[in-house]
Amino acid sequence: MLRMVSWNINGIRSPLQGMVYEEPSNCAAMAMGRILDKLDADIVCLQETKVTRDVLTEPLAIIEGYNSYFSFSRNRSGYSGVATFCKDSATPMAAEEGLSGLLATHNGDVGCYGNMDEFTQEELRALDSEGRALLTQHKIRTWEGKEKTLTLINVYCPHADAGKPERLSFKMRFYRLLQIRAEALLAAGSHVIILGDLNTAHRPIDHWDAVNLECFEEDPGRKWMDGLLSNLGCQAGSHVRPFIDSYRCFQPKQEGAFTCWSAVSGARHLNYGSRLDYVLGDRTLVIDTFQDSFRLPEVMGSDHCPVGAVLSVSSMPAKQCPPLCTRFLPEFAGTQLKILRFLVRLKQDPVFKHSALRLGKQTQVQMHQNKARVRSARPRPSHAGSSRGQKNLTNYFQPSSSRPQVSPILELPSVGALMTPKTLEEEAMARVVEGQASVSEAKDEKEVRTSFWKSVLGGPSPMPLCGGHREPCVMRTVKKPGPNLGRHFYMCARPQGPPTDPSSRCNFFLWSRPS
C-alpha cells in the first residue's frame, strides 16, 4: 500500500502544529519529525510553508528516514511555498520545481511540459515565482506486478481577493498552466495525482453557505474544476474528463466534509468552513488502485486539516535522490565551508607534538632568564635623601606664605536670637498647629496615591453584553484599509456558525467609542 497525505500547514516554522504541545519541547525542527511520524504516510505534501531558502535550517529540512524537496517564493519572504517529504522507501526518481519548466535544471527533472505558447515568458516566470508547485515522479508496482510511473503535483493555488481583480486573473492563469502540465504528463504515459490546496470549494456541498452566495456556480474557479473533473461515482461509463475528486468518489453525499475554517472567528468549533483541499487522481488510477480517500479533522495546528489517500500499489524507490533534494544544497551538503571549519583543532603527529612541547618549554625558560637579567641591570633609585621623590597630593593644596591673610569672617547673630522669646503656652500651640498641618498633608498624599493606584489597577471597563445571548462581548480591531482602519469594536464572543444555529455568534456590533 502507498499512503499519501496533503496538508496546508500554515507556516512550517511555527510551533509545529497542535502535536507539538504534547511534548515539552517547542522546537520546530524536532516537531517536524514527530509530525511526519504521526501522519504515518509514505509521501507528505505540505503547502504554505512560508519559508525561503535563506532561513531554511538543516534540522528542519533533513529528517532522518525521509528525503525532502522545497519550492520557495522568490518575491516575498514568509509567503507561500510548498514542500514534499518522501520516505526513503518511496524515494522519487525525478523532482522538479514549478510548472513551466523555466526553473528546471535539466538534470533529474520530470519533463513533459505540453504546449505553453499561450503564455509569455514573463507570465510563466511570474506564475512560478511564488513557490506554488512541486513535482515528484515515482516508480510504482501494481498488485498485478506491472511497473508504472506516477507523478505527484503538490500545489498551493492562489487565492482570489475580491478587492484585487488582478489576483483572480493570476489564479485562473495558474489553473490553466496546471491543467496543461498535468494533461501533458498523462499523454506521456504517466499516472498523475494533483493534491494540495486548490483554494476553491467545488460544489455547494463543499461550502457552508453556498445558498447565500451570489452566482455560486458561475465562479470561474468552479467552472475550471467542472472542466477538469469527471462526474461523481466510479462507473467507467460516466468518465469523460481526465481527473476524479477521490474523496467524492468514496463519499459522494457526505455533508460538512470541510478542510478549512476561519481561525479568527473560531468557526472550526461548529464546523463552519469549506473544502479547499483535494486529492485528484487520473480516472484510471482512481478506479484501479485507490482504496480510500480521507480527511483528518482531528489534527489541529493550522486553519486547514490534512487530507489523503491510500493506493493499492507498492513504491519502487530510486537508488539515489534527485538533485533537487535538500540534502544536496551546498549549505547542507558540506560543500559550503563555514568559519567554524577553520577553527577546528587538527590532530597532530605524536612525535611532532612532543618536540613542539619541548621547544615551547625551552622558550619559556629562556624568556624568564632574559627578564631576570633585565631586572638586575636596571638602576634602582635611592630613597634616602632624595630630593626628587614623589610629592604628596596634599602638597599642592597647602596655602602659600606669599599670599595676604584673609581677615576672619564676622559672625552675625542668628535671626532667632534677635526675636523675643516665646512663652511656654505659645510654643505648645505652635507645636499643635504644626502637627495638625503635617497630619492633613499626609492624609491628602495618601488619598492621592490611593486614587492613582485604583485608576491604574482597576482594569478596563466591563465589556458590553451582546444582544443575542446577553454574554460579554469580545473587542476586535478594524484591519481593512479605509476610514475606520485601527478602530476598535465589540462583537459576540461565540464562534461563527450557521445563522440557524442558536449556539453560534449573533449579529451584535458596537463601536468602542463614537466616531
Answer for the pair 142, 114: CB distance below 8 angstroms, yes or no. Answer: no
Shortest CA distance to 98 belongs to which of 127, 55, 119? 127
**CB count in 10 Å sphere of residue 57:** 13
8 Å CB contact between 127 and 138: no
For 280, the enclosing helix (H) or strand (E) is strand 277-282
Q: What DSSP line would sit under 418-471, residue for residue? A: HSPPPPHHHHHHHHHHHHHHHHHHHHHHHHHHHHHHHHHHT-SPPPPBPTTT--
Distance CA 214, CA 368 (A): 94
Set 66, 156, 247, 278: catalytic member: 156
Annotated ligand binding at 292? The verdict is: no
Which of 138, 191, 239, 304 is an active site residue? 304
Q: For CA atoms 289, 256, 305, 278, give the dihedral sign.
A: positive
Where do we find the cell 528516514?
A: 65
Contact yes or no for 227/178 (Cβ under 8 A):
no
- Please report, for residues 291, 317, 380, the alpha-carbon distance to residue 91 in angstroms, rounded to integers and kept in the order given: 22, 5, 83
Does residue 303 have a known ligand-binding role? yes
272 is catalytic: no
- 94, 52, 87: which is closest to 71 by C-alpha? 52
Q: Which of 488, 491, 483 is nearest to 513 (CA)?
A: 488
Known binding residue 118? Answer is: no
197 in catalytic set: yes
219 labeled part of a ligand binding site: no
Q: Measured between alpha carbons, how far apart are the two ends of the chain, in Å? A: 63
Q: Is 48 annotated as a binding residue?
A: yes
Is-catalytic flag, 209?
no
Q: List helix spans (H) across 323-349.
A: 330-333
197 annotated ligand-binding residue:
yes
Binding-site residue numbers are 8, 48, 197, 199, 303-304
Supply the residues annotated as catalytic: 156, 197, 304
Binding-site residue numbers for Mg(2+) are 8, 48, 197, 199, 303-304
